[in-house]
Every structure is written in structure tokens, then in C-alpha cells.
């Protein structure tokens, strides 16, 4: 018996050594994977003289491919690279390069995707840390499209320095309900705002020969059931509410690519949806780029996706397998010409970027450079929204020997948002507490940090402090991309409620702050008049339980690597807050549209956000476009200047004056009203905005040009867009609150 156990132990020891060696071998090659050149070797194609030659070359290259080589163009990597992705992501906290569509025999370079909503997601093997910006929702709150363009230029530069050339950004899904977990990845609730930011993002990315990929096409506004949910939507709602921002981004931004969504739309998965991918995207909008699936579960039916027009399955070969495609061809479900068309579409686009000359060198020294991190701080400063201020902010800068209490479990946490696909790895993070400490270094003031665990101690400290900065909100565990196994997600979706473990991130099941934060607010409320609540998160919250007890509320969002420094600059008046809410905040949580994160089917209606509240005359807590400043602005002299039917434009101007004591930036908003419409339409819709800087005591004239096509509604019967001949209202002011808006009219005849 001893010999037997000795033999077993020896065998187990040998097996353990073999396993350790095997894992070590796998780890080494997963981390030190091969890297490939992404630019086209122009010497290999002497016939290529200009961009006009590329489609011809693409067709010629496809004609030289075997069927197996063609299929290789249609997916990311083989399943053998699962270890590379898993080891790098789970053990090293980084995404590796996933090379797609290369062919060494034909000198075709691959392309490499990097997520990028707030920074370059994929990093080179010897790089750790990139410039990390505030989340997209925060930047939407800046209402500054020039800023968004500059941010995406930096993201593109750092992607190129990290040897990637395809950006899975911007996210253009509409915020239908504030509980959506991935709200932080988009720009707000309004299609016009989304479209303007989408165009700016694409233009910034593609300036540096990075292929932009707006996502997720379409109607992906719910996360916990996103792999299975069937979104039901009527044609007018689809066309007027959920697609206009994609249309504008495609037609004006001209992105190289589009990413399809996980969810179904009217019974058909997005990646199989011919109506979305071919009829609308290509045939109506004129899109000439290529469409990729969302990752891992983005395709469900390879043959159906080929028919629908999906060019590439990501990140692995699954439904676009050699076996499936060959069987589909043999059965007559698809033809090899169908495959050729998809590859020519993608290759024609990819080669155009691969052959383009660069305007600069993309060295690694540019990554997280001072110029880039300064922009991250500027973005955080311009994004913060002063929601409420009862003469508390800005805090007094003068004087010494003050005690400043920075309070809350998030006060010294590196908390930049979601930890899934939209994450970026910052080279450093300035927390709220660290930012206040940095600012107060020269003043001699004391900065005290307390987590707030003991409410009595928190209350006592708050009562004795000169300034109380209470940081509350969420982390990646509370909201974000829902991280749970597919099977567990489906069980909950089928049951209509959570089954089993809750997972990480995902949709919020209510809009309240976590109990720990609300208890802390309750404990310190009223004990110190110089108190501000700083909210960190990605969307609207229900402040009803405590907002009347707090004199100042600042939405700071997940505000990136420089967020703490930016926060100090706002609180102490070095920077005048200029952000505005990119969504409405309801007075009662029940006033929002129906939302269930666990469902197999949901209907998206025509009204949501401020259009819903306007239509039903529901009083809100804070309107869409709301945001306070340390100065005041007056609006007057609204004039409809010209109506040019031939050029299909309406010009409007108004005067804005800074009547306060400091310079400030104001977001001037223009809405068009449809009170005289013969069909059901919103009370008003955003159709223009401009962020302007005005010195104290000065006035500026702001001009808008409204494209008449922005006034159109979609007629499902004739399948056409129609502009009503009637009198339209036009509103200009600081928010969607009609009481604050100047009003005029114009007629289209």
C-alpha cells in the first residue's frame, strides 16, 4: 500500500510540474504575443496611385483568395487566442492586441480594435497607463463639441502610439432611462445632442488615421438583459428617436465602421437585421464602411448575419466558422459572391486608412503627456454641473488656518468608472481628497479625510469644519457593463427578476444613492452651512430624500485621472462651472418610462426624458440643460433672421449678456416647438446649442442655423420624411424649462 501511495504522490507531483510548466509556457506566449505592422507596404502595390484605386485593388485581392482565406478576413482571431485575451485581461488588467483580417501572402495588413470612450483601452506591451478622460456622459454635460473633438484626437494619438488603429467609440445609444448601467458611455437623452457629439468624436478620431466605430447599432439602452432582450419599437419612434444620431454621425462624420448591438430589434438580432444593416444603414444612409459585431455574443446566426450585411465577427471565429460558411454555400443559403461583397466592403475601407500618410510621429512619449493630461483636467472642469447652490460656492479662497473636511467612502477612491470594455488604465488618478490637498498646499489650511463610517463622528467633524465636501455616488460594482455569465443573464431575463448572484455593474434597480451615502448625508445635513454634496456617477439620481437639506450639489461624474484637481478648481472658484445636465431629473422616479433590467421583451415608446415630461406636463426636479454658474446671464433680442427655403435653412439669433461679476461660459440652447402640428409630436425639441465665453458686463450675439430637415417627421405609410407647412415656435435660453426661454415663431409654407 505504501508503494501505491508513493507512486500516486510521485505521479501527482510530475503532473503538477507539467501543469505549472504548461501554464508558464501559455502565460509567456500570451503576454509576449507577436506584433504586426498595421500600415500598407506601398512598394508591394505600385499600381496604387490614389484612394480611387483602392476599391479596384480590394476586388483584385479578394479574387486571389481561396475560400479559407476569405473566411479569415471575416473574424478577429481563432479560439486558440482565448488564452491571450483571458490571461491579459484577468491577470494583467489589460486588453491585448487582437489582430483581424491580415494576409501575409497578399501583403494585407491587419487591423486592431481598441475600445476608447474615455482613453486608449489596448496598450502596447511595454506601456502601462494612458490619458484617461471623464466618461462620455460627463463630456456630454460640457455641451462642448470642440472639446469632444480634441479629446478624441488625443485618444487617437495614444491609440496609434499603442499600435492600434480602430476605435470602438463613440457610444451613441440614447439614455432612455437613467438606471441604464452603461449610461456613462453615452452623451445623454437627446438625439440632437448625441448626433452633434457623435460627429465631433468621429472627426477627432479619424484625423489620425484611426478607424472610428460608433456603437451599438441599435436600441441598446438596457444592459442586464442585453444579450437576449427583444426591443419592440414602432417605425416613427425608431426613425425619429433612436436612429437620428446614428444617421447624422454616419452622414456627416463618415466613420469607417459601425458596431451592431447585442439585442434584438422587433424580433431580429441586430447582427442579423437586414432592415437595420442593409436597408437603412447602406441603402438609405449611404454608409460605405464595414460593420462588426459586438464582442463574443454579438452574433447568433452566421448565415443570417452574412445575408444581413455583417462584415466581421468579433473577437473570435464562432458563427463565422469555416464549417458554417461552407455548409451555407453548399446548401445554397449564401453564395461565395455574398462573401466577396462583404470582404471588398471592409477591405476597401481598411486599405484607405492603412495607406494614408500620417501628419505626425506617434511616439510612446506622447502617451499621458502633460498636454494630454491637461486636456483631461480641462474636460473634467468643463463637465461638472452645479445643480444647486444657495450662496455656498465658490468656497472662500482667502484666509488661513481653515479646516476642510473631505467626507465619504468615495472621497479618496480612484474611481474613474466602468471596469469592463469602456475602461482605460490611467497612468495616475487624482482623487477628490488628493485634489483638495493639492490645492490647499500653499494656503496653510488643514485638509482632513474621513470615510464617514461612524455617523456621530462624521456629524461632529462636519460641525467643526469650515468647509464640508461630502463625496457620494457609485463605483464600477454598482453600475456599468453587466459582468455575469450568459446563462445567469438569461435565467434572470426569462424570470423577469434577478435569479442568483447579482453580478458586477449593470443596470441600477433604483435611482437612490446607496444606503450608506444617504445615511451619511442625513447625519451631516444642517450642521454646517458650508456643505456641498459632490456626486460621482454616470447618470441621474433621485435626490428627493435629501436635496432640501443640502445647500449645494455638484455633479462631478466619473471625472477621469485629473478629476480631483478639477474638483478643487471648481469648488474654490478657480474655474467657473459651465456644465449643463444632458438629461432631465424627474421629481418622482415613477415619472420615467417603464424600465425592468431583467426582461426578454420591452417596448420603447415615442416619448422619454424632457419630451415625455413636456407632453404630460410633469414637473421635474431639474430640467434637461440645467446648470448653474458663479455668474448670471440674461437673454434678450430673439430674432428669426431669415428663412431660406431654397437652401433649406432658418437663421435665428439672440443676445446673451453676462450680468455677474466674473467671466463665465454659457450653453445657449435652441428648441423648436410643434404646437401647431396636425400629428402627435413633442412640445419642443433641441435643434441647436452653442457654448460661449462672456466677460463680466459684456454681451454677445449668438447665431443659429436650423436645417429644415431637422423639422421633419417620418411618415410610415409613405416611408418618407415630411416637413409640415405651418407656424413653428422657436425658443432660446439656458435650459429646456419653458419659463426661462425666449420665444418667437416662423412659418414654412
Q: pLDDT tens, 688-703?
A: 999 999 999 999 999 9
- Strand 480-483 with 504-506, pairing: antiparallel
pLDDT attached to residue 94: 81
Strands of the sheet with 211-212, listed across from one edge: 99-100, 111-115, 166-168, 211-212
pLDDT class of 399 with cuts at 50, 70, 90: confident
- Using the predicted structure, report yes or no on whether residue 29 has a pLDDT greater than 70: no
pLDDT attached to residue 642: 80
Task: Pick the range with the lowest mean pLDDT from 210-219, 587-596, 637-646, 723-732.
Answer: 637-646
pLDDT in tens, 93-149: 788 999 999 999 999 999 999 998 999 999 988 888 999 999 999 999 999 999 999
- Strand 531-536 with 385-389, pairing: unpaired
- Using the predicted structure, report yes or no on whether residue 391 has a pLDDT greater than 90: yes
Please count the residues of the chain: 749
pLDDT attached to residue 707: 95
Burial class (CB in 10 A: 0-12, 13-18, 19+), 232: middle
Task: Pick the range with the lowest mean pLDDT from 14-28, 503-517, 701-715.
Answer: 14-28
Per the CB < 8 A criterion, the answer to whether 247 and 258 are in contact is: no
Average pLDDT, the chain: 95
pLDDT attached to residue 7: 65
- The residue-averaged pLDDT of 376-383 equals 98
C-alpha 313/C-alpha 73 separation (Å) is 10
pLDDT attached to residue 442: 85
- Strand 257-259 with 290-292, pairing: parallel
pLDDT attached to residue 20: 76
pLDDT attached to residue 5: 61
Please name which of 385, 420, 365, 424 lies closest in space to residue 133, comparing C-alpha atoms: 424
pLDDT attached to residue 647: 77
Three-class DSSP category at 449: strand
Which letter, b or e, does each residue of 457-478 get, where b requires 16 or more Cβ atoms within 10 Å of its Cβ? ebbebbeebbbbbbbbbbbbeb
Share of the chain above pLDDT 70, in %: 98
294 is catalytic: yes
Q: Which of 294, 418, 423, 614 is catalytic?
A: 294
pLDDT attached to residue 531: 98
C-alpha cell at 65: 483568395
pLDDT attached to residue 549: 97
- Using the predicted structure, report yes or no on whether residue 611 has a pLDDT greater than 90: yes
pLDDT attached to residue 325: 97
pLDDT class of 79 with cuts at 50, 70, 90: confident
Strands of the sheet with 230-232, listed across from one edge: 268-269, 264-265, 230-232, 601-603
pLDDT attached to residue 497: 96
C-alpha 721/C-alpha 711 separation (Å) is 10
Three-class DSSP category at 404: strand
| Residue 705 CB contacts under 8 Å (≥ 6 apart), including other chains | 649, 650, 651, 652, 688
Amino acid at each position: 500500500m505504501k508503494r501505491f501511495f508513493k507512486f500516486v504522490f510521485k505521479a501527482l507531483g510530475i503532473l503538477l510540474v507539467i501543469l505549472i510548466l504548461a501554464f508558464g509556457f501559455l502565460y509567456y506566449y500570451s503576454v509576449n504575443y507577436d506584433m504586426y505592422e498595421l500600415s500598407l507596404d506601398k512598394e508591394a502595390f505600385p499600381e496604387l496611385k490614389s484612394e480611387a484605386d483602392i476599391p479596384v485593388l480590394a476586388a483584385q485581392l479578394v479574387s486571389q483568395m481561396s475560400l479559407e482565406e476569405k473566411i479569415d478576413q471575416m473574424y478577429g482571431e481563432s479560439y486558440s487566442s482565448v488564452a491571450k485575451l483571458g490571461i491579459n485581461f484577468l491577470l494583467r488588467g489589460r486588453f491585448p492586441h487582437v489582430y483581424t483580417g491580415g494576409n501575409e501572402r497578399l501583403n494585407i495588413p491587419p487591423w486592431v480594435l481598441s475600445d476608447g470612450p474615455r482613453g486608449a483601452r489596448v496598450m502596447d506591451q511595454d506601456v502601462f497607463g494612458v490619458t484617461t478622460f471623464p466618461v462620455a456622459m460627463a463630456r456630454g454635460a460640457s455641451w462642448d463639441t470642440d472639446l469632444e473633438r480634441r479629446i478624441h484626437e488625443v485618444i487617437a494619438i495614444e491609440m496609434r502610439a499603442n499600435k492600434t488603429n480602430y476605435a470602438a467609440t463613440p457610444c451613441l445609444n440614447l439614455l432612455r432611462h437613467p438606471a441604464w448601467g452603461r449610461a456613462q458611455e453615452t452623451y445623454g437623452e437627446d438625439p440632437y445632442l448625441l448626433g452633434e457629439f457623435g460627429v465631433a468624436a468621429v472627426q477627432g478620431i479619424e484625423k489620425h488615421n484611426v478607424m472610428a466605430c460608433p456603437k451599438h447599432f441599435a436600441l441598446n439602452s438596457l444592459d442586464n438583459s442585453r444579450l437576449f432582450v427583444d426591443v419592440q419599437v414602432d417605425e416613427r419612434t425608431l426613425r425619429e428617436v433612436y436612429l437620428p444620431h446614428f444617421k447624422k454621425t454616419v452622414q456627416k462624420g463618415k466613420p469607417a465602421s459601425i458596431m451592431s448591438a447585442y439585442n434584438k430589434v422587433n424580433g431580429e438580432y441586430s447582427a442579423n437585421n437586414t432592415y437595420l444593416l442593409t436597408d437603412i444603414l447602406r441603402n438609405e444612409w449611404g454608409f460605405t464602411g464595414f460593420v462588426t459585431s459586438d464582442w463574443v455574443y454579438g452574433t447568433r446566426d452566421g448565415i443570417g448575419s452574412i445575408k444581413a450585411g455583417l462584415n466581421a465577427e468579433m473577437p473570435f471565429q464562432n458563427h463565422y466558422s469555416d464549417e458554417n460558411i461552407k455548409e451555407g454555400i453548399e446548401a445554397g443559403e449564401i453564395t461565395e459572391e455574398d462573401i466577396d461583397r462583404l470582404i471588398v466592403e471592409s477591405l476597401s475601407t481598411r486599405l484607405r486608412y492603412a495607406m494614408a500618410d500620417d501628419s505626425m510621429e506617434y511616439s510612446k512619449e506622447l502617451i499621458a503627456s502633460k498636454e494630454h493630461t491637461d486636456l483631461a483636467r480641462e474636460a473634467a472642469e468643463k463637465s461638472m454641473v452645479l445643480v444647486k447652490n444657495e450662496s455656498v460656492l465658490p468656497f472662500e479662497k482667502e484666509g488661513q488656518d481653515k479646516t476642510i473636511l473631505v467626507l465619504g467612502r468615495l472621497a479618496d477612491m480612484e474611481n474613474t468608472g466602468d471596469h469592463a470594455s469602456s475602461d482605460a488604465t490611467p497612468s495616475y488618478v487624482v482623487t477628490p481628497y488628493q485634489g483638495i490637498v493639492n490645492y490647499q498646499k500653499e494656503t496653510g489650511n488643514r485638509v482632513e479625510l474621513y470615510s464617514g463610517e461612524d455617523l456621530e463622528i462624521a456629524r461632529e467633524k462636519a460641525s467643526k469644519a469650515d468647509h464640508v465636501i461630502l463625496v457620494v455616488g457609485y463605483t464600477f460594482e454598482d453600475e456599468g457593463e453587466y459582468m455575469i455569465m450568459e446563462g445567469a443573464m438569461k435565467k434572470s431575463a426569462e424570470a423577469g427578476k434577478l435569479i442568483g448572484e447579482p453580478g458586477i455593474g449593470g443596470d441600477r434597480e433604483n435611482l437612490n444613492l446607496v444606503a450608506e451615502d444617504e445615511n451619511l448625508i442625513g447625519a451631516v445635513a444642517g450642521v454646517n452651512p458650508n456643505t456641498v454634496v459632490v456626486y460621482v456617477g454616470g447618470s441621474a439620481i433621485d435626490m428627493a430624500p435629501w436635496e432640501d437639506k443640502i445647500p449645494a450639489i455638484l455633479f462631478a461624474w466619473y471625472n477621469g485621472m485629473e478629476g480631483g484637481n478639477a474638483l478643487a478648481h471648481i469648488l474654490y472658484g478657480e474655474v467657473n462651472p459651465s456644465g449643463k445636465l444632458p438629461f432631465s431629473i424627474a421629481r418622482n422616479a415613477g415619472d420615467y418610462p417603464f424600465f425592468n433590467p431583467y426582461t426578454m421583451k420591452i417596448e420603447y415608446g415615442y416619448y422619454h426624458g424632457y419630451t415625455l415630461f413636456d407632453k404630460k406636463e410633469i414637473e421635474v426636479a431639474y430640467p434637461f440643460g440645467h446648470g448653474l454658474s458663479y455668474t448670471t446671464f440674461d437673454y434678450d433680442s430673439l430674432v428669426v433672421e431669415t428663412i431660406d427655403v431654397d437652401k433649406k435653412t432658418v437663421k435665428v439669433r439672440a443676445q446673451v449678456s453676462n450680468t455677474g461679476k466674473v467671466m463665465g461660459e454659457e450653453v445657449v440652447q435652441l428648441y423648436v416647438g410643434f404646437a401647431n402640428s396636425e400629428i402627435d409630436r413633442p412640445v419642443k425639441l433641441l435643434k441647436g446649442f452653442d457654448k460661449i465665453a462672456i466677460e463680466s458686463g459684456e454681451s454677445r450675439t449668438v447665431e443659429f442655423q436650423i436645417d429644415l430637415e431637422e423639422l421633419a417627421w417620418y411618415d410610415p405609410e409613405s416611408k418618407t420624411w415630411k416637413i409640415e407647412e405651418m407656424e413653428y415656435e422657436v425658443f432660446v435660453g439656458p435650459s429646456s424649462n419653458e419659463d426661462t426661454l425666449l420665444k418667437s415663431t416662423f412659418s414654412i409654407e
